[in-house]
């Protein structure tokens, strides 16, 4: 997991920055939880 963390983080940030319309806080939290739950 630690080796994958930087790539996951970068992909999440890129997705947040490219989202149109901008994501609400609840959507960001949900995406973070979805991605970190995958193992």
Q: What residues does each domain of the chain span?
A: 5-37
Which tens digit of pLDDT belongs to each residue from 1-39?
A: 788 889 889 989 999 999 999 999 999 999 989 887 875
Rounded distance between C-alpha atoms, residue 33 and residue 15, angstroms:
14
- Report pTM: 0.67
Are residues 16 and 35 in contact, defined by beta-carbon separation less than 8 angstroms?
Answer: no
**pLDDT recorded at residue 16:** 92
pLDDT at 19: 93
The confidence score (pLDDT) of residue 39 equals 56
Query: Could you give the CA distance from residue 29 to residue 12 in angstroms, rounded to a whole number?
Result: 11
pLDDT of residue 28: 93
pLDDT of residue 37: 81
């Amino acid at each position: 997991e630690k080796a994958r963390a930087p790539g996951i983080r970068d992909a999440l940030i890129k997705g947040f920055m490219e989202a149109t319309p901008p994501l609400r806080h609840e959507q960001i939290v949900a995406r973070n939880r979805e991605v970190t739950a995958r193992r």
